[in-house]
């Protein structure tokens, strides 16, 4: 059996040496210090006549710069650790001898560490042709160029933020740079600006300078306090451009946007269901654990979420805050009112992709789809029977338990299903709603009408 092997040589002039993909923006591996950085990060040799790709795409170049900085950080940390190890015993001896002075020294050490230390100004290899500022990394120099727009519009092209002037834009773009020279000596976190480090250090010192005049809550930053104040004023200035829903907090908008994008990054490891938010996953996990930490103070009924308790309490108080504007019927939940309104409007937004049937509720469509798939997910634990809906299973379970919760108010006879009671009551009322369209004879039950129709079919057979 012969097998053909594709031995076509790749076009080395068009693909990235790292990811092997063709990209629009490529940089030569031999430019400036690119070759040295590549060898430093990968430990691979680079030779000009090796007939391998000589370009690297912008994305891989950025990743290489990250790797370079990370490796530098690890090396610096290694030497710090060695130094700490060598001086540990000596420091321990001093702490035992000078125990009284240590508290003062610790305070001074914290103050010393939380003072801003300006980084030594190193002249980088990459220079901005507009303002002569230099950078250690080429990617940072390219990012800096955003602060010199041709049209003089102070817009960050990376995150689409607008600013009052170019000076503010220039400070902002440092956030997007890889090299962050201002490092916190306590937790090693790095910042692009000294002001950001100053605000960060307040967390280590426990300084909450910005106090809410309404509730007295303290905050590290003024802008966080400004957002908090909206909880008292009710102000919601941030609007979703898609659905116009308004929010008080940018985080609220970011969280909301997941409902439009469909982003779901939080996975339930039990049933593999995905969620947009971690707190929704946390609530969902109670479905599997059976945990119901929230109790009704009136009847003791337990719930998995605090919101369910609030809704449940309306059964005790009789509160129906959601009123139908057409028929004035009241509901305990807004979702119940929304579904009810479809009775008046006739709106059925959920369409079956198989047969085109329209449903008023998403749950009705899910149930309907099982008529096409044959799925019966609700199984009886006693007998082999399975059902399409949980309500059908609940009714079936009464045949095992003998429960007859539907009682006739006239004769006291009990029934497993409400439909059975409804048919039984016609015996007392004499109602016969089912009429034969051949002879006009009427019946109390649909089954009796079906049996009667067979007599007409038999008469036709005799005539033929």
Q: Give the DSSP per-residue string, 82-108.
A: HHHHHHHHHHHHHHHHTHHHHHHHHHH
* Distance between CA atoms of residues 282 and 207, nearest Å: 32
Separation between Cα atoms, residue 291 and residue 174, nearest integer Å: 47
- Residue 355: per-residue pLDDT: 92
Query: What pLDDT, on the 0 to 100 scale, is given for residue 123?
Result: 56
Q: For the packed helices 99-113 and 58-97, what is the interaxial angle rounded to 10 degrees?
A: 160
User: Coil, helix or strand for 240?
Assistant: coil
**Two tokens at 90?**
């000596």
pTM value is: 0.35
Beta strand ranges found along 38-148 (DSSP E): 55-57, 126-127, 134-135
- Check if the beta carbon of residue 194 is closer than 8 Å to that of residue 118: yes
Show the tokens assigned to 174. 């440092």
- Phi and psi torsions of 61, nearest 5°: -65, -45
pLDDT in tens, the chain (464 residues): 444 444 455 567 778 888 888 877 788 887 756 777 787 777 777 777 778 888 888 888 888 888 877 877 777 777 677 667 666 655 555 555 454 444 444 555 545 554 545 454 445 678 888 888 888 888 888 888 988 998 888 888 888 888 888 888 888 888 888 877 778 888 878 887 777 888 888 778 777 888 888 888 888 888 888 888 888 888 888 888 888 888 888 888 888 888 788 888 888 888 888 888 888 888 888 888 888 888 888 888 888 888 888 888 888 888 888 889 988 888 888 888 888 888 888 888 889 999 999 988 888 888 999 999 999 988 998 899 998 888 888 888 888 888 887 888 889 888 877 788 888 888 899 888 888 988 888 988 888 888 888 888 876 666 65
User: Given this model, what pLDDT does residue 299 score?
Assistant: 87
- Orientation of helix 99-113 relative to helix 194-205, angle to 10°: 150
pLDDT at 95: 53
Relative to beta strand 246-247, strand 378-379 is unpaired
Binding residues: 16, 19, 57, 60
Helices vs. strands in the chain: H and E counts, helices first: 15, 24
Q: What is the dihedral of CA 225, 231, 235, 241, to 10 degrees?
A: 90
Cβ pair 238, 248 in contact under 8 A: yes
- For residue 108, what are its two tokens? 């001074």
**First-to-final CA distance of the chain:** 71
**225 vs 202, 207, 212, CA distance in Å?**
15, 14, 7
The label of the residue with tokens 């070759």 reads 35
How many C-beta atoms lie closer than 10 Å to residue 108's C-beta? 10
Residues annotated in a binding site for Zn(2+): 16, 19, 57, 60
What pLDDT is attached to residue 105? 44
Torsion angle (degrees, nearest 10) of CA 340, 346, 347, 353: 110
E strands, 285-410, in order: 294-295, 302-303, 322-323, 330-331, 350-351, 358-359, 378-379, 386-387, 406-407
Q: Which domains does the chain have, with CATH numbers?
A: 126-207 (3.30.160.60), 404-453 (3.30.160.60)
């Amino acid at each position: 059996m012969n097998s053909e092997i594709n031995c076509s040589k790749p076009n080395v002039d068009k693909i990235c040496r790292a990811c092997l993909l063709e990209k629009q923006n490529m940089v030569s591996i031999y430019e400036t210090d690119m070759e040295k950085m590549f060898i430093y990060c990968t430990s691979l040799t680079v030779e000009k006549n090796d007939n391998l790709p000589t370009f690297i795409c912008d994305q891989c170049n950025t990743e290489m710069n990250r790797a370079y900085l990370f490796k530098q950080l690890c090396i610096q940390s290694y030497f710090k650790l060695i130094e700490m190890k060598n001086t540990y015993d000596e420091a321990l001896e001093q702490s035992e001898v000078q125990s009284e002075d240590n508290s003062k020294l610790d305070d001074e050490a914290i103050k010393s560490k939380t003072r801003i230390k300006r980084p030594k100004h190193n002249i980088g290899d990459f220079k901005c042709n507009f303002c002569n500022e230099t950078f250690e990394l080429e990617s940072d120099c390219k990012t800096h160029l955003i602060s010199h727009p041709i049209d003089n519009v102070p817009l960050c092209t990376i995150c689409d933020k607008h600013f009052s002037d170019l000076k503010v834009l220039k400070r902002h773009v440092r956030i997007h740079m890889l090299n962050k020279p201002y490092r916190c000596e306590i937790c090693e976190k790095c910042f692009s600006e000294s002001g950001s480090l100053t605000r960060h250090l307040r967390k280590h010192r426990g300084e909450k300078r910005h106090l809410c005049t309404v509730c007295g809550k303290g905050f590290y930053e003024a802008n966080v306090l400004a957002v908090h104040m909206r909880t008292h004023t009710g102000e919601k200035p941030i609007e979703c451009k898609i659905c116009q829903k308004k929010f008080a907090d940018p985080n609220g908008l970011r969280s909301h946007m997941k409902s439009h994008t469909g982003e779901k990054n939080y996975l339930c490891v039990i049933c593999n269901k995905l969620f947009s938010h971690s707190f929704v996953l946390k609530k969902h996990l109670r479905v599997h654990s059976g945990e119901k930490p929230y109790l009704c103070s009136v009847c003791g009924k337990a719930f998995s979420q605090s919101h369910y308790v609030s809704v449940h309490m309306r059964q005790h108080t009789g509160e129906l805050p959601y009123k139908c504007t057409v028929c004035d019927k009241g509901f305990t939940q807004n979702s119940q009112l929304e579904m009810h309104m479809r009775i008046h409007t006739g709106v059925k937004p959920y369409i079956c992709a198989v047969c085109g049937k329209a449903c008023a509720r998403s749950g009705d469509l899910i149930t309907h789809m099982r008529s096409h798939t044959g799925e019966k997910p609700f199984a009886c634990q006693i007998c082999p029977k399975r059902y399409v809906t949980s309500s059908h299973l609940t009714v079936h379970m009464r045949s095992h338990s003998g429960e007859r919760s539907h009682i006739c108010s006239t004769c006291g006879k009990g029934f497993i299903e409400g439909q059975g009671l409804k048919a039984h009551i016609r015996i007392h009322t004499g109602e016969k709603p089912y009429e034969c369209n051949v002879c006009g004879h009427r019946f109390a039950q649909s089954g009796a009408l079906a049996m009667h129709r067979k007599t007409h079919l038999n008469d036709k057979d005799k005539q033929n």
